[in-house]
Structure 1
Amino acid sequence: MLSYRHKKHTDNIPMEDFDMKAKFYICNHCGNLVTTIHNAGVPPVCCGEKMKELVPNTVEASGEKHLPVAELSGSRLTVTVGAVEHPMADVHYIQWIFVETEDGGQIRYLNPGQAPNVGFELGSEKPVAVYAYCNLHGLWMTKL
């Protein structure tokens, strides 16, 4: 699990200079995926070219169910991909699920064969959006 908090950043960068919205980028050559912790407005570079920003889908347009469904119980957020569970085969699966909070975010990685659902312990953090990345159909988001 990778976790980060916006408010725990270096004292050298003023808080107002941070773009708090989660952004994800993909390399069109090798498939590397990255997210930014501090977005200075310059796209990341991979394989000698600017990476493409992934714009999340927010409306179900595919026969497969890709939208993350979130359920908050106390400080635990459970996220399942799809109202009908997304397939998790070697050739078609959810690679990761990310929860964006007001203070940062957390990510969980998945493998083929696993159920497309994960739990996040948020403590006092308030979730604002959940993202799921399908290896075939890209990035999906549900605002909370």
Structure 2
Amino acid sequence: MNFYRCTNCNEISINMFNNNSKMLCCKNEMEELKTNTFLEEIDHHLIQVRKIGNFVTITIGKDEHPMLHVHYISWVILKTDKGIQYKYLNVGDTPIVDFLVGEDEEIINVFAYCTLHLLWSLN
């Protein structure tokens, strides 16, 4: 699963199948987003996962990530061995999302998109 961003309008697209297709938006090729690893930002973007039974709670930030108009988590994706689920967040929301998974479903990765610092992942 690869993520792409339009440098013109900031639209985000996901290539689910890693088939090396060029992703286009605004008549231009989109840039591929790589997982961000700035160490000085790790506290804001630390992805914490808690799974109890079928319930998964994901919190972004060691202390909650800011959710201001110019700097917030706009979405979180949970990738499991069965598929993906996503939740959108808005300015002012708490950066915590809940998902429901199957009993035998294994968490593969979690992705979070920060409007200022771009893409972050659990792995």
TM-score (normalizing by structure 1): 0.78
Structure 1's unaligned 5+ residue stretches are: 1-21
**Contact between 2:36 and 2:117, CA under 8 Å: does it hold in 1?**
no
In the other structure, the counterpart of 2:51 is 72
Equivalent position of 2:20 in the other structure? 41
Partner AA of 2:74 in structure 1? Q
Question: Amino acid of the residue matched to residue 115 of structure 1?
Answer: T
Give how far 1:63 is off. Answer: 7.0
1:100 aligns with 2:79: yes
Deviation at 1:71, TM superposition (A): 0.9
Counterpart of 1:119 (choices 89, 93, 98) is 98
Equivalent residue runs for 1:1-144 within 5 Å: 22-58=1-37, 60-62=39-41, 65-123=44-102, 124-143=104-123
The structure whose residues are more often strand, as a share, is 2
Max Rg structure: 1
- Aligned 8 A contact 2:68 2:91 in 1: yes
The answer for unaligned runs of 5 or more in structure 2 is none
Divergent runs of 4+, >6 A = none
Q: 1:63 to 1:77 in 2, by over 3 A?
A: closer
Change (3 A) 1:58 1:130: farther
TM-score by length of 2: 0.91
- What is the distance in 1 between the residues matched to 2:33 and 2:92? 25
Aligned to 1:18: none
AA matched with 1:126: E
Distance in 1, Cα, partners of 2:90 & 2:58: 16
